[in-house]
Chains A and B, each alone.
Chain A
Amino acid sequence: MEKKNNAIFQRILENRNKVLTIVFLALIMVIVGNLKPWFGSYWVRVFNTCCIYSMVTMSMNLVNGCTGIFTMGSPGFMCIGAYTTAILTLTPEVKDAVYYLSPIAPWLRELNTSFPVALLLGGLFAAIAAFIIGFPVLRLSGDYLSIATMAFSEIARVIMLNAQSITNGPIGITKIKNHVTVWVAFMALVSVYVLLRLLMRSTYGRALKAVRDDPVAAEAIGIPLFRTKMTSFIISGFIAGIAGGLLASLVGTIDANQFVYSYVNQFLLMMILGGNGSMTGSILGSFVITTALEVFRFMDEPIDFGFWKYPGIGGMRMVLFSISLMLIVLFWEHGIMGSNEFSWDRIIERVKKLVSSIRGLFKRKEEQA
């Protein structure tokens, strides 16, 4: 009996990482499944937003962190995805009510698909936009490229703002049905994460990293620069488009000004905090920043310290937020993960080090005693 137990124990040890992953995933699933009863619907919404922002951040990280081209066009792709999903999921009757100032184009009125199809089409249109603007933009380099992608983002927004019969202009689209449950958001996040990790482990991922590390050498060993950058840019656009669609569905109402180019700063911060080039870091960064912004909300309201009454200044949380970000960038420049990905081996190594250093502390005290 004991022997058999030993054998099982041995096998668990051999597959330690797999076992840990399964346990960890099960734990996360339990938390996600009980998010509403445990934390309430407010935090469910925060969690869903975190998931969507994580996807956008990962899509930016693929281009900026892994391929080394500094783009800032994410709001544009999100905008395209959001409008596509919104328009395609509204039924003709609801569309009549939403487009009350000037009616929707007749061919668009009848178009109505299920949510998943709308979402995928949103991603597809964003990917097509990436493909088209990629031709001029990806031939640029450095700052010029960033500015050009930012300009694209603004162009997409202004078009959406003015295409009255398609996007309802400045009024925006309301009454979008919310399909984004905890599980939808969570599964979308997990699939994007897994797919991107698999991509980065393949020969294509290596090609992206080669282009980032040394474009001249990459080209000299047969990696076509433009095509490689384009591949990364299109995949990134697709993911950002899907995230935009999810966001539209979650929020229930969109207007073009939501996707103003400065929106990208937020994702940039999440990416840098998480670690440039690390998908795991992008997720951590998104969750930390989105949650922190919610937690800091108490700063905007009056607080009674007993000896001093803080009057509550609107926007104070942003000040605190900015200061903490500055501190992070100053003292923690590589972010949470650096360019490393999640790995049990590294975590266990860290824990072992921590344990041994704590033990060392106690030993010294014993010796002194």
Chain B
Amino acid sequence: MNVLETRHVTMRFGGLTAVDDLNIVIEEGEIVSLIGPNGAGKTTCFNVITGIYQPTEGEVFFYGEKLNGKRPDQVASIGISRTFQNIRLFKTMTVLENVLCATHFNRHSGLFSNILHLPNALKEEGLNRDKALKILDEVGLAQYADWKATSLPYGLQRRLEIARALVSEPKLLLLDEPAAGMNPKESDELADFIFEIKDKFHITVFLIEHHMKLVMKISDRIYVTQYGKTIAMGTPEEIRNNPLVIQAYLGEEG
């Protein structure tokens, strides 16, 4: 079953075509990367999938369900979670509260029982808290639960953002440059971390990344885009030897 499928997705902003005829197929349990030079329309592609932008043309399917016309919160609630290139945490909240926010859409108790702290709301809050603490424990942030989110070191903030994305039990996780600003050691740890969460949570991972070493290490398949167009697709080995990709990254031979 295809987890995600984009059919002829095109995104234009006025005269600029940021994504041009994008066709991506991701199967269950895969780790797929999207790479390309700066400005190739990678983040735009994520924004189209998650509903921040509606594609000018084309369709996006998630487990056969059409995503066109859905708002970001609706996309999130059917099982697509994402992280952001520039970390977006809720800065006035603690680490635990950040994760708890992602359990909001899944609530069964109403506004009034929550205001009055009725037993059903309290019970649900307790369950969510346990779930959030468990996720924090699994990503190694349990001891920071009561810290202000923004007081965490950079690498851990990235982890927290992933924890927040995982607590709603998504089927597909979109990671937008998870290794940005990390040193080689940290990005090695990140690679292990991505493998780990993929197995633990049975999710499919789609990521944008610039760190070639990381991409080559973890990806099952890689899509390469340039100026919005997909120029290559294949396993890391195929991509490494693809002349078009080499040209896009290193320029033409002088």
Answer whether A and B are interacting partners: yes
A residues with a Cβ closer than 8 A to B are 195, 198-199, 201-204, 206-207, 209-210, 212-214, 216-225, 231, 277, 339
A206 touches B97 (CB 8 A): yes
- Min Cβ gap A197→B in Å is 10
Which of B17-25, B86-94, B189-197 contacts the other chain?
B86-94
Which residues on A sit within 8 Å (CB–CB) of B58? none
- Min Cβ gap A139→B in Å is 13
A210 touches B111 (CB 8 A): no
Which residues on B sit within 8 Å (CB–CB) of A277? 92
| CB of B84 closer than 8 Å to a CB of A | yes
Which of A198, A206, A220, A223 lies in contact with B82, CB distance below 8 A?
A220
CA distance A216 to B47 in the complex (A): 11
Interface size class of B (residues with CB under 8 A): 35 or more
- Min Cβ gap B5→A in Å is 21
CA distance A306 to B94 in the complex (A): 59
CA distance A231 to B104 in the complex (A): 14
CA distance A221 to B93 in the complex (A): 15
| CB of B73 closer than 8 Å to a CB of A | yes
A221 touches B168 (CB 8 A): yes
CA distance A231 to B107 in the complex (A): 16
A203 touches B107 (CB 8 A): yes
- Min Cβ gap A174→B in Å is 37
A223 touches B128 (CB 8 A): no
A213 touches B103 (CB 8 A): no
Which residues on A sit within 8 Å (CB–CB) of B30? none
A203 with B104, Cβ < 8 A, contacts A195-B115, A216-B52, A220-B72 known: yes
Q: Which of B94-148 contact A (CB under 8 A)?
A: 97, 100-107, 111, 114-117, 121, 124-125, 128
A206 with B104, Cβ < 8 A, contacts A214-B89, A217-B90, A220-B82 known: yes
B76 touches A210 (CB 8 A): no
CA distance A4 to B178 in the complex (A): 60
| CB of B81 closer than 8 Å to a CB of A | yes
Most chain A CB inside 10 Å of its own CB: which residue of B74, B81, B84, B101: B101
A202 with B114, Cβ < 8 A, contacts A214-B88, A217-B84, A221-B168 known: yes
- Min Cβ gap B19→A in Å is 19
Closest to B114 in A: A202
CA distance A201 to B101 in the complex (A): 12
A231 with B111, Cβ < 8 A, contacts A202-B125, A213-B90, A214-B90 known: yes
B91 touches A213 (CB 8 A): yes
A221 touches B102 (CB 8 A): yes
